[in-house]
Each structure stands twice: as structure tokens, then as C-alpha cells.
Amino acid sequence: MAKCLPTTTAAGLASLAFAAPPAIHGALGYSVYIPEWDDRVNLLTGEDSRGQPVPENILYPRVSLTLFERLAESGIPSAVVSPDVFRHSGFSRWLYAGATYAGYEMSHPLDAVEVVASCLDHGYRFIWLYWPYIDQAAHVSGPTSQETDRALTVWDNAYEAAFYRWRAHQRVALLVTADHGMMDLDPRQAILRRDRRVAPLWVRRWAGERRAITTEMEPDEVHALVGGIATVYDQQKLWGEGWYGGPPAKASWQSRTLRTLIIPQVGVQFQQDGLRDAATMKGGHGAWTNDERQIPVIVQTW
């Protein structure tokens, strides 16, 4: 299995959209420390720890073309089919530059099948469909829960409907994959913000998410605090070993990951989610267990 960090939505989607690893595009976590802003910022919402929006030119600097822009240069029109609620976010503008955004109502997932069909009818030759429902169910209820099974059933129904709806178009290649994996978490084992063992972390610069916290503190200093409940890694070593996909495309990228990475034990989460206290969840990702790193790849052509 190839080295890959971090296993989170911002990094995974950006790696697909730019066809490049996090070391190139800079989406190095769910939330990252932005040295130019001197605060941690959630890459999905574009907001800092105080809920203030960060200028997009600071948060999402362009260091390479998106896949959609490269396709456009070759005369291939592309469309992104994704819930309308995400249409106007800075993250979407960054991620989908070069594509036409075709939205669908979040509460009507099967509508996405018809929106894709409409894009095919209008001559779009590359179409990206974002389907967030399995991820949502797995976070709230756990990836092995009945709720997630039901979400998978909805996807199976949509996939079957899509096959019959789209197969009128000849010479289609359909690739299904994901931006990360997921593991079951036990809320009873969560490392809470009020836990005295981790209290020093929250008064220093930090970022990340419930399965992977980064801090400005030195590795030895962090190990003395959490060595019994988490594994501590030197970020300089991880960068040097290529875990983020090679050397940083911008010097500030390495600063985004701070000094030390903390990975809690299997099935354990930090209550902190990168911006605020959060409800503990039954499913999560961000670290590097097989459950978090393995993703499906399904290819079908006709």
C-alpha cells in the first residue's frame, strides 16, 4: 500500500481533483495551520477557529491546474454534479475550477442520476459526481452500522438506476472510488477536551481532526503527555519519508502541518475536530490504519 497522509475529505478530494498528492496542492488535513493567518483553518468551510472566513488567495493558492482545467485545455468539457449546498464555497471554487457546477438537492440523492444524464445529453465528456451520504451515515452511526448499510442500499439503487439511465450513451467509462476509508470509533474511549493529559495541547497552536492532531509542540514534549494513549510522530521525518507525497510545492505547506503529529489508538478519537468541541462520533478517519486508507475502485465500461 502506498504511503498516504492524511486520510481526510479535504486531502482526498483535492488529490483527485488536482491528480496530485497533498504535498503539491496543500490540502494537508481537515484543518491546517495557516502561517500567513496565524490560526488553524477548516479547509472545507474556509473559516478559522473564531468562525471568520479566510481570504481564498491565502487559503487556496493555486500551484497547479485542476484536472478540469487540463481537460478544458484539451477541448474536453467537464461538469461536477454535487449538492447545491456546496456550490458557492471557496473549497468548491478551488477544487472544481474549470468545470461547470451542476447541483442537485441534498435531500433528494437519486436526483443526481438525472443531473448526470442531463450533463451527458449536453455533451459533457467528463463528469464528476460527489455522493456524500455513505460518509455521513458512517460518521454518525459507524461504518458497520445498520444506518450505513441502508445508505449503501440507497447507493446500490442509484447505481442500478444510473446504469439503465446512462447506458443510452455509447462508449462510457464509469469509475467509482472514495476520498478516504472509515473506521468504527467507540465514543466511550474518546479523549475529551477536558482530559488533563491533553490540556496543554489546546493552549498551543494545533490543527487536524479527531483521528489526527498536529501541534507546534516538540515530539518529546508531546510523548510525555500522551504516550500512553496515542502515537507521536515527528512531522519533519514524515515529510522526509514522503508520507505527504513528496517535498512541499510551497515552503509554507510544511508549516501547515506544524511540528508533531498525534495519532490516537485504534478506535479512539479526540473530541476536538479542528475548530470546536464536537460530539463524539461512531465513525472516523484521518490516520493510517488499513480501514482508513483502503478505498473501493470499481470500473465499468460500455
Quick: pLDDT tens for 89-145: 999 999 999 999 999 999 999 999 999 999 999 999 999 999 999 999 999 999 999
Question: Could you tell me which of 35, 39, 30 has the C-alpha nearest to residue 11?
Answer: 30
User: Which helix (H) or strand (E) segment is 284 a member of?
Assistant: strand 283-284
The Cα 191–Cα 45 span in angstroms is: 24
The yes-or-no verdict on residue 2 having pLDDT over 70 is no
What's residue 222's pLDDT? Answer: 98
Helix, coil or strand: residue 258: coil
For the domain spanning 67-182+295-301, the CATH number is 3.40.720.10
Model confidence band, residue 1 (pLDDT cutoffs 50, 70, 90): very low
DSSP states of 188-210 as a string?
Answer: GG-B-TT-TTTGGGGGS-EEEET
What's residue 91's pLDDT? Answer: 98
What's residue 165's pLDDT? Answer: 87
**Contact between residue 192 and residue 143 where contact means Cβ atoms under 8 Å apart:** no
What's residue 280's pLDDT? Answer: 87
Contacts of 141 (CB under 8 A, 6+ apart): 147, 148, 282, 283
Q: What is the mean pLDDT of residues 265-285?
A: 86
Quick: pLDDT tens for 198-215: 999 999 999 999 999 999
Quick: pLDDT tens for 153-199: 999 999 998 888 888 888 889 999 999 999 999 999 999 988 999 99
Quick: pLDDT tens for 22-69: 999 999 999 999 999 999 999 999 999 999 999 999 999 989 999 999
C-alpha cell at 271: 473530541
What's residue 279's pLDDT? Answer: 78
Q: What is the mean pLDDT of residues 271-298?
A: 88
Domain parsing of the chain, residue ranges: 9-53+185-292, 67-182+295-301
Quick: pLDDT tens for 74-85: 999 999 999 999
The Cα 119–Cα 143 span in angstroms is: 32
What's residue 163's pLDDT? Answer: 85
What's residue 235's pLDDT? Answer: 98
Model confidence band, residue 8 (pLDDT cutoffs 50, 70, 90): very high
The yes-or-no verdict on residue 276 having pLDDT over 90 is no
Is the alpha carbon torsion for 285, 287, 290, 293 positive or negative?
positive
- Beta bridge partners, 206, equal 215
Question: Could you tell me which of 261, 280, 257, 260 has the C-alpha nearest to residue 191?
Answer: 280
**C-alpha distance from residue 37 to each of 34, 41, 63 (Å):** 5, 9, 19
Model confidence band, residue 277 (pLDDT cutoffs 50, 70, 90): low
